[in-house]
Structure 1
Amino acid sequence: MLKVCDAVCPDKRQLFLNVSLSRNTVAERVDQLSTNLKQQLVGKGKDFIAYSLAVDESTDTSDIAQLSIFIRGVDSSLCITEEFLGLRSMHGTTTGQDLYEEVSRCVNEMGLPWEKLVGLTTDGAPAMCGHRSGLVARIRERMREENVTGELTAYHCIIHQESLCGKALKMEHVMSTITRAVNFIRPKGLNHRQFKALLGELDTEYGDLPYHTEVRWLSQGKVLKRCFELREEICLFMESKGKDTTELRDETFLCEMAFLCDITSHLNVMNLQLQGRGRVVSDMYSTVRAFKTKLSLWETKMRKENLSHFPSCQTMKEKLSTAVFPSAQFADKLNILAADFRRRFADFEAQKSRFELLSNPFAVEFEFARFIPDTMPQLRIQAAQTLSMFGSTYLCEQLFSLMKLNKTSHRSRLTDEHLHSILRISSAQSLTPNIDELVQKMRHHQVSGSASDK
């Protein structure tokens, strides 16, 4: 700051020197900003006519379980507030009862009435969704104790469900073979350098190969695509190192690799459409329904050996020398994938009529809900309840990424309170700290302190 001051406004240097930037001061200011945001959220919460929660759990660099909770509330004007509610450090067990106690504490601290809670979205883990003792079951029990007449709608994160659907293809053997090849090339310095040099000699379009470790299914898409396009170069390089490439050159395996590359690419496109803040659950489910329709179309075309939606498959079909492209086998795979989508999203299908209230009441945009007159209170509440629902735990996952950036191995002793404050500020979306108010309070305290000293 002083260097910038010297270059931009040297006459103000003393003002910058007067600013205290000690670690204690910085920590205190962060806590003040966080507290201000929380107070604003509490104020907004009093006006909510419906709200939902998104809950997920992960571990930090110190192997401490962290429970992330986000709230999405809607007021009587049908304005949406989507914000971080709390991060709870779980130093002991993480049973359904433990999760419930932490979520309950957050809700009570906010002064939120249980009868206005309409939705709970989780990652689908047993501690979250167990029929008897999971978080969902415990919250439903609490709502019954509070004599709440409405039913809590519990969802398994749409993005997580969609990722799991890819597993129904049962093509892990293809990915494991590719993983072995990539992990042979990428982590070994000499092999990696030599492979880059080989690519340069062959004047290929790509200059390197992305490193793959065992991560979520859809994150493998880029590795698959790159490996398919570099399949010949990979085989040549591995053969030069004395590695067996029989499987990598097998035409049946290459056809499977091409199909997996194409379908994963399609799944990735949908996955990106489901991500982001402020997504309305009805729109997210419309995206899933559209994909299910596409699967049906692709299956029909695949059975007729029309590969227009599968470019890698088309490439392989044209290059086959002896084997016949297994269109029927892949059409069956698409049928299995569609069935898994129907099964996993059955609970969303059950809400279809409620979603249509927002998404297609008279073939107009869902914003029509804002124009529902006050004389139709039940319709407004129905709209508010749907608008408040989380379709995914995307915000929780995003928060865990922020957590890993902040609580690193070099800052592993960061206290729970300070981590909580940092994440509240960095994840704030619709709320902004009221700096003027905080400065005024500090000035007031300084003046009062000076007066009392005298």
Structure 2
Amino acid sequence: MAKRKSRDDEYRNFQKEWTDLYAFVDRYGSPHCLICSETLSSNKKWNLERHFMKKHAAFATNYPEGDARKKACKELQQQMNVGQNSLLTCSKKGESLNSASFAGSYSIIREGKPFTDGDYVKRCMLKIGHELFDEFHNKDKILQKIQDMPLSAKTIHETAVKMAHQIEKVQMQKLSTAAYFSFALDETTDICDINQLCILGRYICGHAVHEEMIAILPMKNQTRGEDILKTVMDFVNEKEIPLDNLVSVCTDSAPNMVSKYRGFLTLLSEQLNRPLLNFPCIVHQEALCVQSCGTELGNVMELVVCIVNWILSRALNQHQFQSLLEEVDSEYPDLIMHSNVRWLSRGKVLSCFATCINEIKSFLDMKGVKHPELSDCDWLLKFYYLVDITGHLNELNLTLQGQGNTVLTLQQAVFRFESKLTVFIKDIETGRLAHFEKLRMFCDSYQRENPNNSLDLQQLAGFVSELLMVFKSRFVEFHKHGVLFTFMIRPHKTFIEELDLTVIPGISVSNLEMEMADFKESDIWVEKFVKLNSDLECLAQQRAELAKLHKWADMKKLERDDHLILQTWKELPVTYNTMQNVSLALLSMFGSTYMCEQAFSHLNHIKGTLHSRLTEDSLNACMKLNLTSYDVNFKEMCEKMQQPKSH
């Protein structure tokens, strides 16, 4: 065993002969390919050999092992050092050029532009500078500074990795020292058909709640629960993240995540040997509730999509229909195509269709296409109900979206909507239809034209009842822990017997009992939470007013709920330390994977058709620079720059 261990240790260190055999060099402790610039994760000979033979077979054929390959590898090594030497040369001339290089690279990355745009940016700066500084006596020196600034594609790649490494170092330090943290996980497939696993972290550091991307990890084989677990555990062990402080995990409801026996969450709980609080993404669950509308309403939606696709899938039909809408001065210039994966698509498509339904009927008659359902009273009744109810559901979805929402905020939004559904049922049963504008307008119009006929609204009340049951079944976990979540804003009205504290590690129930008993009799501290609830109420009113006016940018300027709650808890003395820990655990919980979806939008923008060959290091660096709240310290990076070690 000792001999084998010695051999393993030997081959975990980079061997100099691998440079001539496989065109790899040691770079920051990891093997770096001279041909494709890809960095492998471990110093193992078999990994290097497999990479070389699989991806660079032509190079191996053209340069057989021996002097020919040594010469070729030496030339590649010299080319690789060009970008590094340019930064080193500039550091001798002045740190300002290096700092400018980092700043330029950072801007290009934040805009999601290809690394090759660095040369284009420099050319633009030179042309602009030639005209802008024409009257300056030191114009030549300024232009020379711009010319000397390293901004090649290779330099941008290098600076991106270094900046991301700086941010990751700070991030891992704060995550490791946090009392509690939570993960949100989701996966997608990029443009190269590689599965990418996104890991988000939510934790509290000082007086701020951080909610940001931890890593984007490629999964090149299967994506079963055990595969996801291995990927996550390898990353956690590499970064030395203490999972003892992990309090909850939020995922989508995919079987590989939530399966009872082989799902990721089950396997992770077994690995940690303790119960783990896990939530299905509340936004995904709401979107699934929208789709669970039953066969009858599903048929209505199917016909709407069929008609819309028929018009928009033919260029002539689309142009003629657009002209018709323009003639009647319609609110919409065109119809909207339905996308089943977009949360708000169903409601927007139905609303647009309802507004343009008369023009759609005229256009179909003109084309000789028959859809008798568009004149059928029962079909139209269900259609206008669907328009109104999806409008309400879209409003709920918008409320659930956004960064910084606490699990309590999301839970209360869903509970409020469930109460509204009860009101909707009574509204339909009484025939008032006060909350169904489109449906009420149709019913009034129909009754005027057919005074002797009546409409069957009871079936619509049944649809709402079914929707309410779907909501209650999909949000069981949030109902189960509802009292626990309210502890963070109303500890003075919470009883310890109602709290399920098994899901929060490291909490002493006996200490919590004593602290809560003392707290409830301390008016000065109870008053702070009375004020907190008042402030949260004012914030909710401001958001509602701004949402009504569609001032989304102004809404983002308002103070976040989690920051306000955290500030209140931080004001308590250390005698309530256990209560504070419970609140920190609750504040660190994810309620949705909204930011994962946001990260995937960035992923599609960064790794698009024009730059689909990004390496794993480059992609992870670009994502981290775009999706973290930490700023890059360019001056500090320039000071720490050292000459790359020779090989």
Tell me the TM-score normalized by structure 2: 0.66
Structure 1 pair 5–285 and aligned structure 2 pair: CA distance change class (3 A): farther
Query: Is 1:155 aligned to 2:355, yes or no?
Result: no
Match of 1:41 in 2: 171
Give the 3-state SS of the residue equivalent to 2:182 in structure 1.
Answer: strand
CA distance in 1, matches of 2:338, 2:471: 27
Match of 1:200 in 2: 326
Mapping of residues 163-178 of structure 1, within 5 Å: 163-170=287-294, 171-178=297-304
1:2 is displaced (CA, Å) by 2.8
Amino acid at match of 1:136: L
Moved more, 369-378 or 8-17: 8-17
Mapping of residues 272-421 of structure 1, within 5 Å: 272-320=398-446, 321-322=449-450, 324-361=454-491, 362-363=529-530, 364-365=532-533, 366-367=565-566, 368-421=568-621
Task: Using CA pairs under 8 Å that are at least 6 residues apart, name the structure with larger relative contact order, 1 or 2.
Answer: 1
* Pairs aligned (count): 440
Amino acid at match of 1:441: K
Moved more, 324-333 or 110-119: 324-333
Amino acid at match of 1:352: G
Query: Is 1:437 aligned to 2:563, yes or no?
Result: no
1:413-436 residue CA offsets vs partner (Å, 9 max, x unmatched): 2212211111111111x2122222
1:409 is displaced (CA, Å) by 2.5
Please tell me whether the aligned partners of residues 120 and 390 of structure 1 are also in contact (alpha carbons under 8 angstroms).
Answer: yes
Query: Is 1:137 aligned to 2:263, yes or no?
Result: no
Q: 1:79 aligns with which of 208, 224, 239?
A: 208
1:262 is displaced (CA, Å) by 0.8
Structure 1 pair 22–179 and aligned structure 2 pair: CA distance change class (3 A): same
Please tell me whether the aligned partners of residues 338 and 345 of structure 2 are also in contact (alpha carbons under 8 angstroms).
Answer: no
Amino acid at match of 1:369: W
Structure 1 pair 6–335 and aligned structure 2 pair: CA distance change class (3 A): farther
Give the 3-state SS of the residue equivalent to 1:307 in structure 2.
Answer: coil
CA distance in 1, matches of 2:463, 2:580: 43
Please tell me whether the aligned partners of residues 168 and 336 of structure 1 are also in contact (alpha carbons under 8 angstroms).
Answer: no
Amino acid at match of 1:385: A
Give the 3-state SS of the residue equivalent to 1:411 in structure 2.
Answer: coil
Match of 1:95 in 2: 224
1:204 is displaced (CA, Å) by 2.5
Please tell me whether the aligned partners of residues 388 and 436 of structure 2 are also in contact (alpha carbons under 8 angstroms).
Answer: yes
Unmatched tracts of structure 2, length 5 or more: 1-124, 492-528, 534-564
Match of 1:2 in 2: 126
Give the 3-state SS of the residue equivalent to 2:617 in structure 1.
Answer: helix
Please tell me whether the aligned partners of residues 259 and 266 of structure 2 are also in contact (alpha carbons under 8 angstroms).
Answer: yes
1:106 is displaced (CA, Å) by 2.4
Please tell me whether the aligned partners of residues 50 and 73 of structure 1 are also in contact (alpha carbons under 8 angstroms).
Answer: yes
Moved more, 167-176 or 310-319: 167-176
1:175 is displaced (CA, Å) by 1.2
1:374-412 residue CA offsets vs partner (Å, 9 max, x unmatched): 111211110011001000011111111111111122322
1:198 is displaced (CA, Å) by 1.0
Q: 1:17 aligns with which of 147, 150, 161?
A: 147
Amino acid at match of 1:259: Y
Match of 2:376 in 1: 250
Structure 1 pair 431–178 and aligned structure 2 pair: CA distance change class (3 A): same
Tell me which structure has the larger Cα radius of gyration. Answer: 2
Match of 2:314 in 1: 188
Amino acid at match of 1:24: K
Give the 3-state SS of the residue equivalent to 1:279 in structure 2.
Answer: coil
1:9 is displaced (CA, Å) by 4.4
Structure 1 pair 328–3 and aligned structure 2 pair: CA distance change class (3 A): farther
Query: Is 1:56 aligned to 2:182, yes or no?
Result: no
CA distance in 2, matches of 1:158, 1:2: 51
CA distance in 1, matches of 2:405, 2:240: 25
1:341 is displaced (CA, Å) by 1.1
Query: Is 1:122 aligned to 2:251, yes or no?
Result: yes
Structure 1 pair 4–271 and aligned structure 2 pair: CA distance change class (3 A): farther
1:360 is displaced (CA, Å) by 3.3
1:113 is displaced (CA, Å) by 1.4
Moved more, 60-69 or 206-215: 206-215
CA distance in 1, matches of 2:388, 2:207: 41
Tell me the TM-score normalized by structure 1: 0.92
1:78 is displaced (CA, Å) by 5.6
CA distance in 1, matches of 2:384, 2:573: 54
Please tell me whether the aligned partners of residues 283 and 359 of structure 1 are also in contact (alpha carbons under 8 angstroms).
Answer: no
1:93 is displaced (CA, Å) by 0.6
CA distance in 1, matches of 2:384, 2:313: 25
CA distance in 2, matches of 1:166, 1:330: 15
Please tell me whether the aligned partners of residues 385 and 438 of structure 2 are also in contact (alpha carbons under 8 angstroms).
Answer: yes
1:313-351 residue CA offsets vs partner (Å, 9 max, x unmatched): 111111214463332111111111111111111111111
- Percent of aligned positions with the same letter in both sequences? 33
1:47 is displaced (CA, Å) by 1.9
Amino acid at match of 1:55: L
Moved more, 186-195 or 389-398: 186-195
Please tell me whether the aligned partners of residues 343 and 397 of structure 2 are also in contact (alpha carbons under 8 angstroms).
Answer: no
1:209-243 residue CA offsets vs partner (Å, 9 max, x unmatched): 22234434642211110100110101111111111
1:120-165 residue CA offsets vs partner (Å, 9 max, x unmatched): 0000111101111111011111111xxx5xx310100000011111
Please tell me whether the aligned partners of residues 258 and 313 of structure 1 are also in contact (alpha carbons under 8 angstroms).
Answer: yes
CA distance in 1, matches of 2:608, 2:349: 27
